[in-house]
Amino acid sequence: MSNDTHYEVLARKYRPQNFSELAGQEHVSRTLQNAIDSGRVAHAFLFTGARGVGKTSTARIMAKTLNCERGVTHEPCNVCPQCIEITKGTSTDVFEIDGASNNGVDDVRDLRDNIKYLPSHSRYRIIIIDEVHMLSTNAFNALLKTLEEPPEHVKFIFATTEPHKLPVTILSRCQRFDFKRVTLPKIIARLREIAGKESVVINDTSLALIARKGDGSMRDSLTAFDQVLAFCGNSVSDEDVGTLLGAIDRRLLAEISAAVFSGDTQNVLAGIKQVDLVGYNMRQFCQELIEHFRNLLVIRSVKKPEEILDLAAAELDELHKQTLHITALDIQRRLTLLIKAESEMAYASFPRLIVEMALLKAALLAPLVPIQELIDKIKALETAAVHTPSLPWEAARVAPAAMAHHTEAPPPAPSRPAPPVAAPPTVSHLESAGGHTDWGRFVAFVNEQERLLGSVLEHGSPLKQESGLIEIGFPAGSYYLTAAQDAEFIADVQALVGSFTGRNIVIRIKPIEAGLADAPLSLAEKKKCDAEQHLETLKRDIENHPVVKEAERVFGRSITDVREL
């Protein structure tokens, strides 16, 4: 670093001086350059966006481009006297005004009187008003006529972080450009470039911490970088950056979340203790943990998370590794607990305790049983109930133990022979056997490969099965019809049909209107219908059982509900 007594902060030293240096605002740069090249430069511009994203820098670049001695081009030369004066802020033809301190009607009237005169040695008089929303109502009214019909030698450039506070009459007279928050990778790349120029040794983890501190603002990130260099010198360590900026180390978040998913309560509490020892705000820690779990959920839920998440490549790789052995549902259940805990911390006297309770509960969550396993268990119970010649299980609740003193146990019901078990179909072509059997086998196969596709197909009915064609119907207007009509869904299903049958088969999706009698039942409808019939049969068996009838006679009551355990 320089040892000069006059030190120029990084945000000023590395301020963009041409459009190509504007990080993250390519849409603005391209539009302005095209306007300059085609001679379609408006008389008034409005630059809006968050702090530190390049609004004022773009206004200065625009002023240099229009007044450059080498001609009006899409990039200023930055070496002619005009460009140098504008860069230093000493140009007599470029007025940069602070709207917060010059917000009165008299200030605007003086400005309006001065712009009547031709520029002293430039092409245009350029008026840059920063934080223009701070002008008073009278000041805006005084500016309206001049803004609508300014002299040919005048250009207005307004910048604001709160465009909603500007009158509609001002907005309608300006070309508006919305500046985006700078993405994390772009900030890291810019910081890496500056670190190289300043001969600073720093790794990408520290740069990511600094960039995240900026929260999408390039200027705030450079200010934080300045602070880090003042503390660390030319050699920066991750620990120093985390301590100085008060940021939680991403590795600690990863360790705590890994302990949560593995049920390691010891390391969960140890991690919270480490956060508390550093003196970090517990609610802020909880918010960062929520963001971490949200990143995990996005990575587990979408195919291209890098298009959704604002993360560096190294961070994305680490999160990918952590999600290899967990499901989206596991993450979602724990994320819900953390969101609830964060809302409770606003008025809590013991924020650490709330975080500890939430994380312990998340670590001790019982794993969810897969739905297919539950279905298999229910089927096993149904089979056992058919072959067991005993009192139905819900009847045991109706008849209390005291009845043993008043009634004799009825003779056991004669056992029924087990129904013959049908051999599984051996046909691997959906259209060769017909009926629900092969359709059910195919949907089960899809469930094993892609659960989301299978959950939609369960609500479809096989309307037509011909050579090389399967027509699947879904209820008209339903979510499942909309999902099934998606081109990507159809392509995925056709690929799975090819794997299942070994043939190329076309899938056609068709809506089924309500009341269509000849449409076969979907698997979901069939399961529901079978469950209802089974419950009706069970209810009749219980109501007609001698023990239940005796219980009704003794207690003078009747059965109101029958449930299957």
CATH number at residue 280: 1.20.272.10
Answer with the one of 245, 270, 298 that is the final residue of a domain. 245
Same-domain check for residues 63 and 164: yes
Identify the CATH number of the domain in which residue 521 sits: 3.30.300.180
Find how far residue 507's CA is from the centre of its chain.
Answer: 32
The pLDDT of residue 395: 41
Same-domain check for residues 227 and 166: no
Same-domain check for residues 139 and 272: no
Q: How is the beta sheet containing 154-160 ordered, strand by strand?
A: 94-98, 125-130, 154-160, 44-48, 175-178
User: 44 - beta bridge partners?
Assistant: 156
3-state SS track over 94-152:
EEEEECCCCCCHHHHHHHHHHCCCCCCCCCCEEEEEECHHHCCHHHHHHHHHHHHCCCC
The pLDDT of residue 376: 73
Instruction: Using the Cα atoms of residue 51, residue 54, residue 55 and residue 59 in order, give the sign of their dihedral.
Output: positive
User: 472 - beta bridge partners?
Assistant: 462, 509
Domain that holds residue 501: 430-526
Same-domain check for residues 36 and 158: yes
User: 98 - beta bridge partners?
Assistant: 130
Helix (H) or strand (E) holding 233: none
Helices (H) and strands (E) in the chain, counts: 26, 8
Same-domain check for residues 265 and 157: no
Asked whether residue 536 is assigned to any structural domain, the reply reads no
Asked whether residue 387 is assigned to any structural domain, the reply reads no
Asked whether residue 416 is assigned to any structural domain, the reply reads no
CA distances from 167 to 43, 110, 175, 216, 364 (A): 18, 21, 14, 27, 55
Instruction: Using the Cα atoms of residue 387, residue 390, residue 391 and residue 393 in order, give the sign of their dihedral.
Output: negative
The pLDDT of residue 396: 40
The pLDDT of residue 31: 92
User: 508 - beta bridge partners?
Assistant: 471
pLDDT digits (tens, 9 = 90+) for 529-540: 888 888 888 888
- Positions of the chain with pLDDT under 50: 1-2, 388, 391-429, 431-435
How many CB atoms are located within 10 Å of the residue 497 CB? 21
Asked whether residue 562 is assigned to any structural domain, the reply reads no
The pLDDT of residue 495: 87
Percent of the chain with pLDDT over 90: 20
The pLDDT of residue 391: 46
pLDDT digits (tens, 9 = 90+) for 273-297: 988 887 788 888 899 899 999 999 9
pTM, to two decimals: 0.57
Beta carbons of 158 and 45 less than 8 angstroms apart? yes
The pLDDT of residue 265: 93
pLDDT digits (tens, 9 = 90+) for 64-91: 999 998 878 888 898 998 999 998 888 8
Same-domain check for residues 240 and 106: no
Closest CA to 139 of 177, 172, 173, 112: 112
Instruction: Using the Cα atoms of residue 51, residue 52, residue 58 and residue 59 in order, give the sign of their dihedral.
Output: positive
The span from the CA of 541 to the CA of 549, in Å, is 11
Helix, strand, or coil (residue 47): strand
Same-domain check for residues 499 and 467: yes
Task: Bin 199: left if φ > 0, else alpha if -120 < ψ < 50, else beta.
Answer: left
Same-domain check for residues 261 and 234: no
